[in-house]
Structure 1
Amino acid sequence: MAEFSTPTTEQEFARNFAQLKPAMNRTEALYESSRCLFCFDAPCIQACPSGIDIPQFIRQINSGNETGAARTIYEANYFGNACGKVCPTEVLCEGACVYNLQEVKPIEIGRLQSYATTKVIASGQHLFGPGADNGKRVAVIGAGPAGISCACELRALGYAVDVFEAKAQPSGLTVYGVAPYKITTEEALAEMTYLQAQFGYAVQYNSPITSREELADLEASYDAIFLGIGLGKTSTLGLPGEAQRNCVGAVEFIADLRQLHHQMAVGRRVIVLGGGNTAMDAASESARLGAESVVLAYRRGKGEMGAYGFEYDLAKSVGVKGLFNVAPVEIVGDGYVSGVRFVRTATVDGRVQELPGSEFVQDCDMVILATGQAKQTGLLGLIPGLELDEKGRILANAHTGQTTNPKYFASGDAWNGGAEVVNAAAEAKLTARGIHAYLSK
């Protein structure tokens, strides 16, 4: 029996995908902010990849200065509102809160961060603006967290910035790849509108850069180019039967869900292959769409999964079952998925070994591959002198973001191989300063 009924209306979808970090009201924000100890050398700041002065903005909320709190947040992280919702605060800032040492609930930093930034976004009050025009232009490829953060910082430094985005909307995975119970599309786009209104960068949507000719045009027209292209489609496993209907990639599944909501179809019995955070999201989303059975299958043990523990707990809380130490060998079916053939495994000296004679078939009518994302090596291979590492990641200076082709700079998933929204935002801001240093010589 499914934990959730299949949503047939937008209201039912919203109920099934209720926000994990709901908005605070003024009373809740005052109470929660009053709990903060305002630690000297606060560990929460050290745990934040963007280095937000967390005690400072919490103190500002508590004193009634929500606008000042928002400014403190945005000065460090242009995706301040989104990160308050989608960041794994449980293992970052909140995980570092000193209250954990006393077995007391940590400060709800993420919700307080969203509270202050939501207030200022709703007011439309501008906190920042573009710097004096310095006569130089930068092209940004990709309107995700890295691209938009870089664009904001460059505009503040006086550069003209054009952003080229392949999709119809900005914000990258915040709109297309994050589970709907973490942030709504409306919330993500409101922050993008707010930032663009202040900084005035231009965005060309539905404008993928795919050819050498297009890159050459950018090279001729701009003083520098920023690569914020993220990662590509779900990586395939090369299993027999993988091309059958209803065997889909997790990235594509989540992207469709973000756009279709209650019109999204899901199998009755779903198997999700993988052990990362994307696998947890895909499994939890399948359950919330009304699947009767959702099995999360991973080739190693439960303790060896790459996902955060709280993400697995969330999936379990909506009825997802774990199947560990199993490796898929075939997607079973006759044109349409009917099951997955597994072989049992054991981890010996850190390596996965298959156990002979242990194969079995787990029935299902949908398989979701949460097996990582491919690197966009096709596009990157069109850039002269741009070097990649053995995993297909862009090689770039860790302090400036400059690649082996000096006109190109990079941050985000295409450089780090896949991390959090906050990492991309923090890296891109640093890289924008690297671009400024390079063009100021």
Structure 2
Amino acid sequence: MPPPTTTDAGPDIRPARLAAEQYAQHFADAAPRLTRTQALVEAERCLYCYDAPCATACPTGIDVPSFIKRIADDNLRGAAKAILEANPLGGTCARVCPTEVLCEQVCVRTTQQGKPVEIGKLQRYAVDAVMDQPISALFPRATPTGKTVAVVGAGPAGIACAVGLARLGHSVVLHDAQAKGGGLNEYGLASYKVAGQFAQRELDWLLGIGGITLKTGWKLQTAAQLQALRDGHAAVYLAVGLAGTQALRVPGEDLDGVRDAVDFIAELRQAADPSTLPIGRRVVVIGGGMTAVDAAVQSKLLGAEQVHMVYRRGPATMGASHAEQEWAQTHGISIHHWLVPEALLPGSGAAAGHVAAVRFERQVLMEGQLQPTGLHETLAADMVLKAIGQKLDSSLLADCGLTLRDGRVVADDDGRTGVAGLYAGGDCRLGGRDLTVEAVEDGKRAALAIHSQLIA
């Protein structure tokens, strides 16, 4: 393939590529809540299996047959309580959890009818139905214990831990570096997955349990800060996520028009009007995970004419599920495999400092190793979004006595580190698959472990 030509005209990046009414349509809820009739019909498909494989497949252990049976009985309060007892962020997880590779993948109805019970949609139906009531009506808080715990990071793991501790009567100070709490739920998910400011509505609802103070704009930057938290609280739970982003480490990465996909998604999530965001006519997204899909699809929804998603291996090893890959292709995204970025190429003339194309080298898998073929492909680009993974800012944590391995904190399944009173969970903990639902389980288990420590 010949390299694209560049001109002095510069990159084609601008806002408002679409008519105003298209933005509201494009960024509306991708999967609206079921109606009562739809929910009842779907709930009746459940066989209410004993030792249900769907419940085993759920990282938070939701009793799926139980909550679906309650929906069938029109008992939405009971259904929601069964869900939220196991997963306090059941509303978000119902929207973003890859149910097709978890609970729905093992649904018995798939074998019988070729289609699983729509567990995620039923979960959303039940949880949404009770969020107009105070959470304390479902889960009254235990008698205050007088103990205070610091939680660093108000993402899924941190929120789950804070809610679990608050329910048990402890006080929690929930710290976050951003202007809003929510972490990944607020800043890192596609707008069409959590539309209508749902992440903030869910967080505000959960904080209604009482006993949790949310402190935003607080960033853990020094070992002295962490020591002060340890000195001032009965325990500390670190749920700091993976704030750093991986570099491509190829020439041209510092060109204008090249940015991290997570920053692009966060900017879009916080924009009052998506039409004000500039987007390139030709966008290349490098990566194969769900962040890459979210960035690619939203680029298209903002009006990009050509969007290419490029991954260095084959479809079987992509981080994005098969359903997510299909979602991207349905929106006109071209997905390329076995291509590794070799260089980001600048334009010419006045556009010399801006990216104009990405040159890739084709790879093959030989004896389990990726090998270059010497063949190259070049894709024109006004914008390049990097979605090749995130990493922990580990230097600070190493100074605090924590053990790190493969760039993450070593802790057991209950979050205990090798430092007394210091726990860790979520994406920063070694292990897991970086799923929202697994981060929630981490936080839930850590809350119980911390509680056991505090009452011992």
Separation of aligned partners in 1, 2:119 and 2:30: 14
What's the offset of the Cα at 1:199?
3.4
Sequence identity of aligned pairs in percent?
A: 41
SS in 1 for 2:240: coil
Distance 1:6 1:24 in 2: 32
- Cα shift at 1:192: 0.9
Partner secondary structure for residue 199 of structure 1: coil
CA distance in 1, matches of 2:386, 2:61: 34
Which one of 371, 386, 411 corresponds to residue 353 of structure 1? 371
CA-atom RMSD in angstroms: 1.6
Q: Deviations over 1:18-69 (max 9, x none)?
A: 3232111222212211221111111110110001111111111111211111
Please, which of 303, 308, 324 is the counterpart of residue 337 of structure 2?
324
Q: Is contact 1:412–1:424 with CA below 8 Å preserved after alignment?
A: yes
Q: 1:6 to 1:23 in 2, by over 3 A?
A: farther
Deviation at residue 234 of structure 1 after TM alignment: 2.1
- Counterpart of 2:106 in structure 1 is 96
- Deviation string 1:186-216 (CA, Å, 9 cap, x unpaired) is 2121111111112331111111121223222
Counterpart-to-counterpart distance in 2, 1:366 and 1:30: 46
Matches within 5 A, 1:22-37: 22-37=32-47
Partner of 1:310: 323
Moved over 3 A (4+): 5-9
Matched, 1:295 2:331: no
Shift of residue 240, structure 1, vs aligned partner: 0.6
- Who is 1:77 aligned against? 87
Are the counterparts in 1 of residues 261 and 385 from structure 2 also a CA contact under 8 Å? yes
TM-score by length of 2: 0.91
Equivalent in the alignment of 2:57 = 47
* Separation in structure 2 between the aligned mates of residue 387 and residue 38 of structure 1, nearest angstrom: 44
Partner of 2:438: 423
Given that 1:128 and 1:199 are in contact with CA atoms closer than 8 Å, whether structure 2 keeps it comes out as no
Alignment partner of 1:307: what SS? coil
CA separation in 2, counterparts of 1:374 and 1:265? 27
Is contact 1:233–1:251 with CA below 8 Å preserved after alignment?
A: no
Say which of 164, 180, 183 aligns to 1:153: 164
Structure 1 residue 312 displacement after superposition: 0.7
Unaligned runs of at least 5 residues, structure 1: none
Alignment partner, residue 404 of structure 2: 388
One-letter amino acid of the structure 2 residue matched with residue 207 of structure 1: W
Report how far residue 8 of structure 1 moved: 5.4
The answer on whether the counterparts of 2:188 and 2:266 sit within 8 Å (CA) in structure 1 is: yes
In the alignment, structure 2 segments of 5+ residues that lack a partner are 1-15, 347-351
Please give the secondary structure, in 2, of the residue aligned with 1:122: coil
Alignment-mate amino acid for residue 105 of structure 1: K
Counterpart-to-counterpart distance in 2, 1:196 and 1:275? 35
* Whole-angstrom CA distance in 1 between matches of 2:29 and 2:117: 18
2:194 is matched with 183
Q: d(CA) in 2 for partners of 1:232 and 1:361? A: 31
CA contact (8 A) 1:185 1:258 kept: no
What code does the residue aligned with 2:372 have?
A: E
Residue 278 of structure 1 corresponds to which residue in structure 2?
A: 291
SS at structure 2 position matched to 1:163: strand
Structure 1 residues 164-313: aligned runs within 5 Å: 164-184=175-195, 186-260=197-271, 261-313=274-326
Once the two structures are TM-superposed, the CA of residue 404 in structure 1 deviates from its matched residue by 1.2
Q: Judging changes above 3 Å, is the alpha-carbon distance between structure 1 residues 49 and 235 closer, same or farther for their aligned structure 2 residues?
A: same
Contact 1:233 1:252 in 2 (8 A): no
C-alpha distance after superposition, 1:76-96 (max 9, x if no partner): 001011111110011111111
SS in 2 for 1:90: helix
Q: Provide the rounded CA distance (Å) in 1 between the counterparts of 2:23 and 2:299.
A: 12
Structure 1 stretch displaced more, 197-206 or 79-88: 197-206
Report the CA distance shift for 1:185/1:167 in structure 2 as closer, same or farther (over 3 A).
farther
Of the three residues 395, 398, 401, the one matched with 1:378 is 395
State the distance in 1 between where 2:205 and 2:280 align: 38
User: 1:7 Cα deviation (Å)?
Assistant: 4.2
* Offset of residue 425 of structure 1: 0.6
**Larger CA deviation: 90-99 vs 77-86:** 90-99
Q: How many pairs were matched up?
A: 432
Distance in 1 of aligned mates of 2:449 and 2:98: 28
Structure 2 residue aligned with 1:407, among 421, 429, 446?
Answer: 421
Q: How far off its partner does 1:140 sit? A: 0.3
Q: What TM-score do the two structures reach when normalised by structure 1?
A: 0.94
Whether 1:57 aligns to 2:67 is yes
> 2:8 — aligned with what?
none
Q: Is the 8 A contact 2:167 2:209 kept in 1?
A: no
Residue matched to 2:9: none
Rate the CA distance shift 1:160–1:88 in 2: closer, same or farther, 3 A.
same
Q: Does 1:19 align with 2:68?
A: no
1:87-136 Cα offsets, whole Å, 9 max, x none, are: 00111111111111024321111111111111110233521132212221
Distance 2:93 2:130 in 1: 15
Partners in 1 of 2:234 and 2:275 — Cα distance?
45
One-letter code of the match for 2:327?
A: L
